[in-house]
């Protein structure tokens, strides 16, 4: 076992990176005197992982939604539900599946070692039978149908379906009712053995805890696993969308829009510097202190619910802008016009520095929140970076870096607009 201490003198913070004999990477940042502790146990396995790649490079397809399905089933054992165990210790527990990972977590103010033991035990103890798998199909099928009635969810996946041809990011995280009907206990075990290999996972802990407490539980509870990190399939996509416009009617009070710009990517993942530059560009163009945001707000083209996101992961990248609007098409046109103007004129030094300082301040503030720290530790592992890399890059960014990035993204011919309009009579 090796333990590396990683420090940031400017922040006065440090964390430990442990390469555990079991194969698991463990990241720990201690916060003595803080009221609580947060822990996350995460597998590099999400909804975009719709295939298993074996050691020979052969690819075997698995049903869409299997990662989410497995997450649901893993909380159950032959005797007891993990939620019940956490309830007895007074901890808050949860789990989620995203596009690129599955995470199990708890937050507690006491009984840390007991809670960590529960977490490590149930995630390492799969129990699937054909009977319990079939029972879950109805539950998850109902969840899939429920999300079809949530405008924010529908508008995003409608946009992704307009932008992407083959990449599984366009498929609902829970899959489809047809795809989950093909999931069996054997498939769940195959996926578990491939993706829940400890070499493909990370444990992150932050808060009022000691390194010794974490390692004491880990040494006793972790079951050594062979193998290596799971491989992902890079699905190459044309940057040109399938369609430029998609519309759906739902019972909403006000129309909604989501404008997305697909990025022409040549490699599977974006660098941390590229991501930070993109987020900064978003803020300059349509942040709450930008001229366009203020003007559109005054004209009631948007409201305070407007948001933006740089949506990226393995094999996909997209800039998104959207919210409620009385005139979605005009709102989208105004954003497109501002993007064209900024790309032509470039981002000026004053605007860049204002937004960069704001970003830097936000990153510093996150070190006061143990849940944010734990999430950032997980993110850094998934991105093959360090916890302090983001704040270091933010400090060193220049206006030239940002303007160079600007010229490679937000291409109008690679964009699409998704709209939700009210059902008549609602």
User: Where in the sequence numbering do the catalytic residues fall?
Assistant: 71
Phi-psi region of 251 (alpha: psi -120 to 50; beta: other; left: phi over 0): beta
- Please name which of 88, 127, 79, 128 lies closest in space to residue 106, comparing C-alpha atoms: 88
- Who's near 405: CB < 8 A, 6+ residues apart? 274, 277, 278, 281
- Who's near 246: CB < 8 A, 6+ residues apart? 158, 159, 161, 162, 416, 417, 418, 419
8 A C-beta contact, residue 73 and residue 133: yes
Contacts for 390-398: CB closer than 8 Å, 24+ residues apart: 390/272, 390/276, 390/363, 391/8, 391/11, 391/360, 391/363, 391/364, 392/8, 393/272, 393/273, 393/276, 394/276, 394/356, 394/359, 394/360, 394/363, 395/360, 397/273, 397/276, 397/277, 397/280, 397/356
Distance between CA 35 and CA 78 in Å, rounded?
34
Distance between CA 364 and CA 165 in Å, rounded?
39
SS3 (DSSP) at 47: coil
Count of C-beta atoms within a 10 Å radius of residue 150: 11
Quick one: tokens of 157?
A: 């996946």
* Phi, psi dihedral angles at 224 (to 5 degrees): -55, 140
Alpha carbon 364 to its chain centroid, in Å, reads 21
- Please name which of 391, 362, 384, 270 lies closest in space to residue 17, comparing C-alpha atoms: 384
Count of C-beta atoms within a 10 Å radius of residue 72: 15
Angle between helices 349-365 and 399-406 (to 10 degrees): 100
């Amino acid at each position: 076992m090796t333990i590396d201490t990683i420090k940031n003198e400017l922040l006065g913070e440090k964390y430990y990176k442990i390469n555990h004999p079991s194969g698991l990477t463990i990241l720990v940042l201690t916060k003595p005197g803080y009221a609580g502790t947060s822990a996350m146990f995460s597998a590099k396995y999400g909804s975009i992982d719709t295939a298993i790649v074996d050691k020979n490079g052969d690819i075997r397809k698995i049903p869409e939604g299997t990662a989410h399905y497995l997450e649901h089933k893993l909380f159950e054992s032959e005797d007891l539900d993990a939620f019940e165990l956490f309830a007895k210790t007074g901890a808050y527990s949860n789990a989620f599946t995203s596009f690129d990972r599955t995470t199990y977590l708890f937050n507690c103010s006491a009984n840390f070692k007991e809670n960590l033991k529960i977490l490590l035990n149930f995630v390492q103890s799969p129990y699937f039978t054909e009977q319990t798998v079939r029972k879950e199909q109805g539950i998850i099928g109902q969840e899939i149908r429920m999300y079809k009635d949530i405008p924010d969810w529908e508008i995003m996946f409608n946009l992704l379906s307009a932008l992407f041809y083959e990449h599984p990011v366009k498929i609902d995280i829970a899959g489809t009712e047809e795809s989950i009907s093909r999931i069996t206990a054997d498939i769940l075990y195959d996926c578990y053995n491939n993706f829940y290999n400890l070499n493909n996972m990370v444990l992150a802990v932050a808060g009022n805890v000691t390194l010794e407490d974490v390692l004491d539980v880990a040494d006793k509870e972790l079951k050594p696993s062979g193998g290596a990190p799971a491989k992902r399939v890079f699905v190459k996509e044309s940057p040109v969308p399938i369609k430029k416009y998609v519309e759906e009617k739902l019972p909403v009070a006000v129309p909604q829009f989501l404008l997305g710009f697909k990025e022409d990517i040549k490699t599977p993942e974006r660098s941390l510097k590229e991501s930070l530059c993109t987020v900064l560009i978003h803020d300059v163009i349509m942040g709450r202190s930008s001229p366009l945001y203020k003007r559109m707000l005054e004209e009631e083209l948007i409201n305070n619910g407007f948001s933006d996101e740089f949506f990226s992961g393995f094999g996909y990248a997209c800039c998104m802008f959207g919210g409620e609007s009385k005139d979605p098409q005009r709102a989208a046109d105004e954003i497109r016009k501002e993007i064209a103007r900024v790309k032509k004129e470039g981002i000026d030094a004053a605007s860049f520095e204002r937004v960069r300082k704001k970003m830097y301040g936000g990153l510093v503030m996150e070190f006061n929140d143990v849940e944010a720290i734990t999430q950032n530790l997980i993110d850094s592992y998934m991105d093959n970076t360090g916890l302090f890399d983001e704040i270091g890059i933010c400090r060193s960014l220049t206006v030239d870096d940002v303007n160079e990035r600007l010229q490679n993204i937000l291409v109008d011919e690679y964009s699409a607009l998704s709209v939700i309009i009210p059902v008549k009579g609602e």
